Amino acid sequence: MKKSYKIEVDCANCALKMEEATKSVEGVKDAVVSFMTQKMNVEFADGADDKAVMQAVLKACKKVEDDCEIYL
Amino acid sequence: MTKKQKKVLYRIVIAILLLVAISFLPVSGWIQFLLYMIPYLVIGYDILRKAGKGILNREVFDENFLMAVATVGAICLGEYREGVAVMLFYQIGELFQAVAVGKSRMSISALMDIRPDYANIEKEDGQLEQVSPDEVAVGDVIVVCPGEKIPIDGVIAEGSSTLNTSALTGESVPREVEPGDEVISGCVNTSGLLKIRTTKEFGESTVSKILDLVENSSMKKSRSENFITKFAKYYTPAVCYSALALAILPPVVQLLTGHPATWSTWIIRALTFLVISCPCALVISIPLSFFGGIGGASACGILVKGSNYLEALAQTKCVVFDKTGTLTKGVFQVTKIAPTEAFQNTSGDADALLYYAAQAECYSGHPISKSLREAYQAVDKANNKIDNNRVTDVEEIGGHGVTAMVDGHQVAAGNAKLMAKLDLQAAVEKQRGQSAGSDSPDGDEIGTVVYVAVDDVYAGYILIADVPKDTAKEAIDALKRSGVKKTVMLTGDSKAVAEHVAKELAIDEVHSELLPADKVTCVEQLLTGRKPGENLAFVGDGINDAPVLSRADIGIAMGAMGSDAAIEAADIVLMDDNPAKIALAMKISRKCLRIVYENIVFALSVKAICLILGALGLAGMWLAIFADVGVMVLAVLNAIRCLKVK
């Protein structure tokens, strides 16, 4: 399952860091963060609960970049 | 500027004023320290807070941490003013960068701003109500006033007007529409009021699909972008360890050799080194360049589905074309009218011959009949009308043609078999020489022949062919000029027709009489035969060549206005049917890549020089900030050039 989320992030490097952090969250198969469009595409692993996973993603992203925001 | 940016701007102004004021105050010692702390905290409190959080989250080596350590270090060494100034300049640089990036993002988005905001629905009392396009169901009637965008695909129920398709195709060729015509969203209604019965939901409409495609294009990353991501992975730790070594090793060596260790000097150099090393300029400018390139291309009616395709396009050396609908118009047109001498002497000229043929075929739905009628009407738009009342006794003879009475004359229009049936073969042979009796014309006459007999006397023939697009020749020339080594044409059409078109357009290689599956085989052969690093692009109209489109390195679909299959299967979509856009897309791609390389080389070399200068102690914190923020701003400004196409 793939979902797209609107995000807010200030710098391109931070977007890269968010991408790395998101990819390492359990239940995320793949993730792409686009700084240009301020969007995040997440592909969930089979059977993963997207809402729970996204909470974990948000936490992981906040850890690497305090300023970021994901609109769930 | 956003609210956030304005706030930073105020803080910068306040900090500058405070800093200047304090510099003139005759104070020293603790009071001076405390006074300098005011502008320092005004300008840097958020950086310090973020740095603290970073440490707590064990994400140490980010910019905030670096700036905090560098400025606190300077202050500890008694360089109050320097510490405040470094923080100040860092914030100014960051602000400038944020504004520049925001601006360029806005201007790119503006290029792609075809999203309709509302749809008009007529209420029972005749008033128009604006609703969100999402709320309109399939089959509802929407009203589009002059000057408004068509929000949803549909069919015109009432009204006629002229549409401007430039938002979709990049060319403002007006299109006339009347009731019954299909219209696609994104076009601007320029003249009359239109009532449109929607045939799709907003989410399924052309404009939504295009927006989706373009917005997601930056999600497909190019090789250069992946390179930078990988590069950053090794680069950041490498720089951090170098900085650590720079802080520790020289003083230790000094100690060992019996000199006094100058710890503070080397620590400051190490901090400078760290500030210089931030990879932001690269990380931001490369996606921005691609995004700009994609934005610029879509403004010309070229939709690129991902940065990777834009990148691949620059290395295209072989372009394979489908013939019908891609290089040719895909519709039959009258290319030659040849009345016999006898007909010219008795009944009239070429137009008269066309008139008889068109009238005789007036009831037929065959594409050839249609093209005859269109050609006749095109001769004189005002007077030439096909009038069914002047035609009687129409008889269609399957596989032969049509016979009918036109203005009291017995007219027969059809192929060679029909002429043979009327015993007119000899007359045909007399006019056409040896090739008579066959339907495949000779010499430069390529296409389908319609023979016409009037009152059982052979009157001449009309040649109908699928003609190349006006821009096809120019497209092939432009591709060759831009370094494409080989152009290939694939077609299901007969060999004679294919070779004729290829010769006319100067295409290098032709494969004719192919079935759709043969096209895949053909492309695969070409794919195995090419050199590594040379990409193959396939250009088709997207109707039945989806497998080939996806098999080629780059699939380019033409004439995508409304064709879902093309948008799905292709990597690049040309919104108008103009093959000349391929060369333009390649030009954009090359320019974009050139800018990307410029930025990589520029940023890395400036950083390398500054790093060395910093390590040697020749570069202070000021230069370090330039190397970080200044290089980034320059790279961003360079990247924005990708937007400009011409």
Give the distance from residue A1's alpha carbon to the nearest chain B alpha carbon, in angstroms. Answer: 16
CB–CB of B108 and A36 under 8 A? yes
CB–CB of A36 and B105 under 8 A? yes
B322: annotated active-site residue:
yes
Using DSSP bridges, classify how beta strands B328-339 and B391-397 pair: parallel, antiparallel or unpaired. Answer: unpaired
Name the more confident of B63 and B501. B501
* CA B280 to chain CA mean position, Å: 27
Q: What is the pLDDT of residue A37?
A: 74
Asked whether residue A35 carries a pLDDT value surpassing 80, the answer given is no
Euclidean distance between the first and final Cα of chain A, in Å? 16
A5 touches chain B (CB under 8 A): no
Q: In the predicted model, what is the mean pLDDT of residues B469-475?
A: 87
* pLDDT > 70: percent of chain A: 100
Q: In the predicted model, what is the mean pLDDT of residues A3-13?
A: 80
For the stretch B228-262, pLDDT in tens is 778 877 877 788 788 889 888 988 998 888 888 78
Q: Give me the sheet containing B119-122, strands edge to edge.
A: B128-131, B119-122, B141-144, B194-198, B154-158, B182-183
Asked whether residue B436 carries a pLDDT value surpassing 50, the answer given is no
A67 touches chain B (CB under 8 A): yes
Asked whether residue B270 carries a pLDDT value surpassing 50, the answer given is yes
Asked whether residue B560 carries a pLDDT value surpassing 60, the answer given is no
Q: What is the pLDDT of residue A22?
A: 92
Residue B231 phi, psi dihedral angles, 5° rounding: -55, -45
Cβ atoms of B490 and B323 closer than 8 Å: yes
Angle formed by the axes of helices B263-277 and B63-76, to 10°?
150
A–B CB contacts, 8 A cutoff, strictly below: 50
Which range, of B48-57, B60-69, B189-198, averages the lowest pLDDT? B60-69
Give the distance from residue A37's alpha carbon to the nearest chain B alpha carbon, in angstroms. Answer: 7
Name the more confident of B593 and B408. B593
Q: In the predicted model, what is the mean pLDDT of residues B362-391?
A: 75
Give the distance from residue A54's alpha carbon to the nearest chain B alpha carbon, in angstroms. Answer: 19
Q: In the predicted model, what is the mean pLDDT of residues B78-87?
A: 82
Q: What is the pLDDT of residue B590?
A: 92
Which of A4, A16, A32 has its CB closest to that of B283?
A16
Distance CA B646, CA B296 (A): 10
CB–CB of A34 and B280 under 8 A? no
Q: What is the pLDDT of residue B111?
A: 63
Give contacts of A17 with chain B, Cβ < 8 Å. Answer: 59
What is the value of ipTM here, to two decimals?
0.72
Residues 6+ apart with CB under 8 A from B471: B578, B579, B580
Of A20-34, B49-63, B561-575, B606-620, give the range with the top mean pLDDT: A20-34
Please report which confidence band the pLDDT of residue B61 belongs to, taking 50, 70 and 90 as the band edges: low
Distance CA B295, CA B284 (A): 16
CATH class of the region A2-71: alpha beta
| Catalytic residue chosen out of the listed positions B322, B541, B545, B576 | B322
Give the distance from residue A48's alpha carbon to the nearest chain B alpha carbon, in angstroms. Answer: 22
Give contacts of A63 with chain B, Cβ < 8 Å. Answer: 57, 59
CB–CB of A12 and B105 under 8 A? no
Please report which confidence band the pLDDT of residue B196 belongs to, taking 50, 70 and 90 as the band edges: very high
Which A-chain residues 12-51 have CB contacts (< 8 A) with chain B? Answer: 12-13, 16-17, 32, 34-37, 39, 41
Please report which confidence band the pLDDT of residue B52 belongs to, taking 50, 70 and 90 as the band edges: confident
Distance CA B451, CA B415 (A): 6
CB–CB of A13 and B215 under 8 A? no
Q: What is the pLDDT of residue B435?
A: 47
Residues 6+ apart with CB under 8 A from A4: A39, A40, A41, A42, B216
* pLDDT > 90: percent of chain B: 9
- Residue where the block lists tokens 């430039």: B166
Which of A12, A39, A66 has its CB closest to that of B287?
A12
Q: What is the pLDDT of residue B438?
A: 47
> Kind and range of the H or E element at B331?
strand B328-339
Report how far apart, in Å, the C-alpha atoms of B374 and of each of B39, B333, B379, B633 are: 79, 8, 9, 58
Q: In the predicted model, what is the mean pLDDT of residues B348-376?
A: 80
Q: What is the pLDDT of residue B646?
A: 62
Best B60, B284, B289, B308 residue to mutate vs chain A (most A CBs within 10 Å): B284
Give the distance from residue B280's alpha carbon to the nearest chain A alpha carbon, in angstroms. Answer: 6
* pLDDT > 70: percent of chain B: 91
Burial label, B316 (beta-carbon count in 10 A; 0-12, 13-18, 19+): buried
Please report which confidence band the pLDDT of residue B17 belongs to, taking 50, 70 and 90 as the band edges: very high
Q: In the predicted model, what is the mean pLDDT of residues B143-162?
A: 88
- Cα within 13 Å of Cα(B344), Cβ side: 10
Asked whether residue B519 carries a pLDDT value surpassing 90, the answer given is no
Asked whether residue B594 carries a pLDDT value surpassing 90, the answer given is yes
Q: What is the pLDDT of residue B487?
A: 92
For the stretch B22-33, pLDDT in tens is 888 887 778 888
Distance CA B223, CA B229 (A): 10
Name the more confident of B609 and B103. B609
Q: What is the pLDDT of residue B318?
A: 92
Choose among B68, B55, B562: nearest CA to B275: B68
Chain B residues near any Cβ of chain A (below 8 Å): 50, 53-54, 57, 59, 63, 98, 101, 105, 108, 215-216, 218-219, 221, 229, 232, 278-280, 283-284, 287-288, 291
Give contacts of B98 with chain A, Cβ < 8 Å. Answer: 10
Which of A32, A36, A41 has its CB closest to that of B288?
A36
Give contacts of A67 with chain B, Cβ < 8 Å. Answer: 50
Asked whether residue B562 carries a pLDDT value surpassing 70, the answer given is no
Asked whether residue B526 carries a pLDDT value surpassing 50, the answer given is yes
Q: What is the pLDDT of residue B477?
A: 92
Mean pLDDT, chain B, whole residue set: 81
Cβ atoms of B375 and B387 closer than 8 Å: no
What is the SS3 assignment for B455-491? Answer: CCEEEEEEEEEEEECCCHHHHHHHHHHCCCCEEEEEC
Q: In the predicted model, what is the mean pLDDT of residues B431-460?
A: 67
Please report which confidence band the pLDDT of residue B514 belongs to, taking 50, 70 and 90 as the band edges: confident
- Hey, where are the domains in chain A? 2-71
Asked whether residue B381 carries a pLDDT value surpassing 80, the answer given is no
CB–CB of B221 and A32 under 8 A? yes
